[in-house]
Each structure stands twice: as structure tokens, then as C-alpha cells.
Structure 1
Amino acid sequence: MRVYIPSTLRLLDEACHAGEFGPQPLTVYAVTPALREWYAEGDDEELEYAAMAQAARASVGLLADDPGTARRRVVVSAEMSAVPPADGAAELGDARLELHVVVPWRAVASVHLDETGAAATVGKAAELWASAQNGDDDALFALDSCEGEDLMWYATQEIPDLLAAEGPRGRL
């Protein structure tokens, strides 16, 4: 099963060097029954995109928690063979899962990353993350604005060079 791991450049660098994503539990996003039910008319590709979009949104929350990292959303796509079923408590449309295993680096299929030009939009959303979680309309608008930014695709063999180009530990 394909899972999407919300991340930051700093966390991506740490996982690359550690050889795994963790610690447990790890929040990931995937095509869950709740997502399928919500988006019943979507094909597999559309459902995967919806799950990745939720992971990209969660990446903004990680950026809010780490003001010293570059203001670019990161989503790591990984292939996992053993993904637990949703516990039934998920809201309609929710793609979130909790993994109680680490995700080994060898499971990574690709990385999706904002272009550098998205930093202002993503940075504003990260700055307003807490307000968005409390339902503030202006903050939600800033968060929704991130969805207008495209995530660039990187193959696994490109990740070390990408991280080296971004500088030490993905800092600003």
C-alpha cells in the first residue's frame, strides 16, 4: 500500500541519514475506506492525490512546529506491505492512519517538495497554523492557498543531491 508521510526538509534529511522514518507511532496518509467512501466517484489516481494533499496539509503543521526549517512542504511517498486498517473512528474523507512501525528508507518511492517560490505562501500558512486549527477564516484561507502550489516530484536517487543543495539539515 502506498502511504504518504508528511515531512519537512529537516526531517527528510534526518530520515535519510537514519535510514528510516520514525519514531512510532507515525502519522501517515493513504487511501482509506473513509476516503473512498467520501470520494466514491474518484478513481485510484484521484484518491491517491487526495491522500497526498492531506499529507501536504499536515506538513504545514510540522513546519509550524519547527520555525527554523525551510518553508517548503515535503511529502514522502512510500510502499508499505503491512498497513493497519483504520480503527473506524475516522471521519468521512479522512486519509490519516497511525503506523506503529518505522518506515525503512528502502520503502521510499519518491519525495514531493514545494518549489522555492512557494516559501512565502507556505510560510504564511505555517505562521497561522494554530489559528487555522481553531477555525479562523483568514488562517484557513492561508492554509488553503498552499493547495495552489504544485509539489515537485523527486526520485529516490535524487534525494541526497536535493538535500545537499538545500544546505545543512534543511535550515532557512
Structure 2
Amino acid sequence: MRIYLPSTFTGLAALLDDGHIGGAPLRAYAVTPHLSGGDRPADDEELEYEALRGAARASVRLLAADPAAPRRRAVVAAEISEAAVAAAPEADDPAAVTVAGTVPLKRVAALHVDAPEAADAIAAAAADPAAGHDDDHELLWYAVQELPDLLGRR
């Protein structure tokens, strides 16, 4: 099952250093029955995009709590067993789920990160995450192998 884990550059550095994302239960986002509307046919790509957007909104809240992190959203896309995923209690987002255990780096499929040009807009959003924001910036896709370069470690 594909999940989207909200993160920050601080979290991406920890992923690279530790080889996993920990802190169970983890809040993540995925295509859930609640998101897809049950019986209603839906486009899988649109549903995946909505789950990604949920994780991007959560990344803004993580940035608000980590003033030292660069003002760029980060989302980690991973493939994990469906058995490790459960509905998030009291979730405010239909794509929200919880993940039991850790997510190893080898299960990460891709990274989605803001371009540097988005930093000012994301800084403004992180200053007041409860207000929401119109996001004119799409997250860029990165291969897992690009993580060291993304963090400036090569």
C-alpha cells in the first residue's frame, strides 16, 4: 500500500542517517475508503494526489513546530504492508491513517519536496498553519537515490 508521510528537511536528514522513519504510531496519508467515497468510482491518480496533498498540509504543521528546518515541505512516499495501516482516530482528513512500527528507507518509493522558490510562501503558511493557505507551489518528485544531493551531502 502506498502511504505519504509528512516530513521536513530535518526529518529527511534523520531518514538518511537512521535508515528509517520511526515514532510509532506514525501519522500518514493514503487512499482510504473514506477518501474514495466507498462505492463511487474514482480516478486512482486523483485519489493519490489528494493523499499527497494531505501529507503536504501536515508538513506545514511540522514546519511550524520546527523553526530551524528549511521552509520547504517534504513528503515521503513509501510502500508498506496494508496490515501496518489503520484508520486515524479523530482524523480531520479523509486520507489520514496511522502506521504501526517504523518505515525503513528501503520501503521509500519517492520523495516530494518544494522547490527553493517556494520557501517564502511556505514560511508564511508555517507562521499560521491553522489559517490554511492557497498553495501555488507543486511538490517536485525526487528519486530516493537523490536524497543525499537534496540535503547537500554530496
Identity of paired residues, percent?
A: 46
Structure 2: where are the runs of 5+ without partners? none
CA displacement at 1:80 relative to structure 2: 0.4
Alignment of 1:25-104 (within 5 A): 25-37=25-37, 40-81=40-81, 82-86=83-87, 94-104=94-104
AA at the equivalent of 2:19: G
1:35-88 Cα deviation digits (max 9, x unpaired): 011894531111000000000000000000001110000001000023334268
- Residue in structure 2 matched with residue 13 of structure 1 by the alignment: 13
Structure 1: where are the runs of 5+ without partners? 133-138, 168-172
- Residue in structure 1 matched with residue 147 of structure 2 by the alignment: 159
For residues 88 and 73 of structure 1, the distance between their equivalents in structure 2, rounded to whole angstroms, comes to 24
Is 2:87–2:97's contact at 8 Å kept on the other side of the alignment?
yes
AA at the equivalent of 1:118: A
AA at the equivalent of 1:162: L
Q: Secondary structure at the match of 1:94?
A: coil
Is 2:84–2:101's contact at 8 Å kept on the other side of the alignment?
no
TM-score, with structure 2 as normaliser: 0.91
For residues 120 and 39 of structure 1, the distance between their equivalents in structure 2, rounded to whole angstroms, comes to 41
CA displacement at 1:150 relative to structure 2: 1.0
Q: Secondary structure at the match of 2:37?
A: helix
CA displacement at 1:128 relative to structure 2: 0.6
Q: Secondary structure at the match of 2:151?
A: helix
* 1:89–1:67 Cα change, 3 Å: closer
CA displacement at 1:23 relative to structure 2: 1.1
For residues 10 and 88 of structure 1, the distance between their equivalents in structure 2, rounded to whole angstroms, comes to 26
AA at the equivalent of 1:86: A
**Number of residue pairs aligned between Structure 1 and Structure 2:** 153
Is 2:78–2:110's contact at 8 Å kept on the other side of the alignment?
yes
Is 1:34–1:90's contact at 8 Å kept on the other side of the alignment?
no
AA at the equivalent of 2:98: E
For residues 87 and 157 of structure 1, the distance between their equivalents in structure 2, rounded to whole angstroms, comes to 30
* 1:96–1:84 Cα change, 3 Å: same
